[in-house]
Amino acid sequence: MQAGGAVGAAGAARAAQAGEWTEQHNNGYTAGCGTAEEAEVAAEMLARLGIGDVALFTGPGRTGRGCVVFTGNGQPIGTDFQVAGMTAASVANYTDEPVAVYSDVTDLLDAVVPAGTSADIRPVDVNFASYPVGSTPPPDDRGLNATAVFQFPS
């Protein structure tokens, strides 16, 4: 199953229950946003299907509202994604490589979340990039070009 089909299935199932799930598509990638519970369910379902994704939450401990960006696994170094207008306080990395989280405001590295883990981070308007295991993310994201940009629903 391709990521888009899985995203649509996850989104449709969750939207039927809560009515808050929205999806966006940009440059061949998909993101879904809704409640933290909806984002968690979608992220875990896709991970079980072998589709890498990164979930961002507005509250610590995967609470508040959430967005899941379906990144896939094994992205080229520095593949960058952005959710504009979202301040994240928690990140769950369901990919097979570390994810570097950068501030949209300062462009500085805020956190590195290892593959298959989650972490509370200092609340920051984020963009994030994938880095193969063993590589070192740069201290800022000035050299990165966003692969896909999504808008956090208001």
pLDDT of residue 93: 96
How far is 8 from 14, CA to CA, in rounded Å?
A: 10
Q: Name the band, by pLDDT with cuts 50, 70 and 90, for residue 143.
A: low
% of the chain residues with pLDDT over 70 = 86
Phi, psi of 41 (to 5 degrees): -60, -45
List Cβ neighbours of 141 (8 Å cut-off, separation of 6 or more): 80, 100, 102, 107, 109, 127, 129
Q: Which residue has the higher pLDDT, 145 or 57?
A: 57
Question: Minimal CA–CA distance to 111: which of 91, 131, 97, 86?
Answer: 91
**Per residue in 82-110, pLDDT tens?**
998 899 999 999 999 999 998 877 888 99
45 vs 132, more confident? 45
**Phi, psi dihedrals of residue 59, rounded to the nearest 5°:** -115, 160
pLDDT of res. 36: 96
In whole angstroms, give the CA distance from residue 115 to residue 40: 16
Model confidence at 67: pLDDT above 50:
yes
How confident is the model at residue 10, as a pLDDT? 54
pLDDT at 4: 52
pLDDT, averaged across the chain:
85
The pTM (predicted TM-score) of the whole model is: 0.84
